[in-house]
Amino acid sequence: MTRIIKKISEWRKVRNETENKSIGFVPTMGALHRGHESLIEKSVSDNEITVVSIFVNPTQFNDPDDLQNYPRAFEKDYEILNSHNVDYLFFPDYGEIYNDNYRYKLSESEFSKILCGKFRPGHFDGVLTVVMKLFNIIKPHKAYFGEKDYQQLKLIEGMCKAFFMDIEIIQCPIVRDVDGLALSSRNKLLSEEERKFALNFPRLLKSDKSKEEIFRELENLGFKVDYIEEMDGRRLGAVYVGNVRLIDNVKI
Ligand code: PAF
């Protein structure tokens, strides 16, 4: 059974006892799907101990409604963790993580300001701050992140390098549904019709059209488009289907 740990003090005792074991860490905000499961499977196969955290981090939500509506599914999540033989679930509350009430924060001044950062002010400050806190608490050897959140992944790699952190970041491929939609906890918020409509997004992203053409075509179809950009041999985008913001990227 996956042991649930809510307090940092309790985890520290466990961590002292696991001194010589390799620890893999998968930070999440819950509402787990097969994308998370692929990170968990990799951690379980690479390490002696796997820790998953579930913490819906308020500081990375720039929109209070988005935080309020973010899907939460603790019981199902816990079943998933058990089925993968995850050793520990770290499940802290706000006060445990933000003992400073977010007076201290970590920010990056360039790459975090473009792509999603341009449209979600403060988002990456929240992400980097909570990931730094979680890394300092869990003290993993390896941590697993999905390529769907490509900008997040690169910023976390950069943070580890900038702060000389001895944690290996393992980059894991995007997991898609059979029809091509990248898995995301936010997909749970789409109606059946919206989900069907959303399929245009990965379809156009991987087409051989230019980024400008893709942007225009998505807008003409009725998406609100934040950006379509190309970098690092990838085409990345963020769009809204109704109120639900989806991001995705493909290799080009
Ligand atoms: O990718 C996520 O689920 C979150 O941004 C993370 C890394 C768990 C930080 O809250």
Task: Check pLDDT > 90 for residue 19.
Answer: no
How many angstroms does the Cα of residue 129 sit away from the middle of ligand 1?
A: 11
**What's the number of domains the chain is made of?**
2
Domain endpoint, select from 138, 172, 206: 172
Q: The CATH number of the domain where 168 resides is what?
A: 3.40.50.620
Annotated binding residue 165: no
Same domain, 84 and 209: no
Q: CB under 6 Å to ligand 1: residues?
A: 27-29, 57, 60, 127, 130-131, 149, 152
Q: What is the pTM of this model?
A: 0.97
Q: How confident is the model at residue 130 (pLDDT cuts 50, 70, 90)?
A: very high
Is 195 in the same domain as 159?
no
Residue 243 has φ and ψ, to the nearest 5°, of -95, 0
- 156 and 225: one domain? no
| Segment 23-68, tens digit of pLDDT | 999 999 999 999 999 999 999 999 999 999 999 999 999 999 999 9
210 carries a ligand binding annotation: no
Instruction: Work out whether strand 224-231 and strand 234-241 pair parallel, antiparallel, or are unpaired.
Output: antiparallel
**pLDDT for the residue numbered 43:** 98
CATH code of the domain containing 218: 3.30.1300.10
Q: Which residues span the domain enclosing 30?
A: 3-172
Mean pLDDT (the chain) is 98
Do 20 and 116 belong to one domain?
A: yes
Q: Is 123 a catalytic residue?
A: no
Based on the fold, state whether residues 99 and 220 are members of the same structural domain: no
User: Which atom, in ligand 1's list, is nearest to the CA of 56?
Assistant: 10
Q: Do 202 and 110 sit in the same domain of this protein?
A: no
The answer to whether residues 190 and 112 belong to one domain is no
Contact call for residues 180 and 207 (beta carbons, < 8 A): no
Question: Which residues neighbour 172 within 8 Å (Cβ) at sequence distance 6 or greater?
Answer: 38, 39, 42, 144, 145, 146, 147
Atom of ligand 1 at shortest range from CA of 55: 10
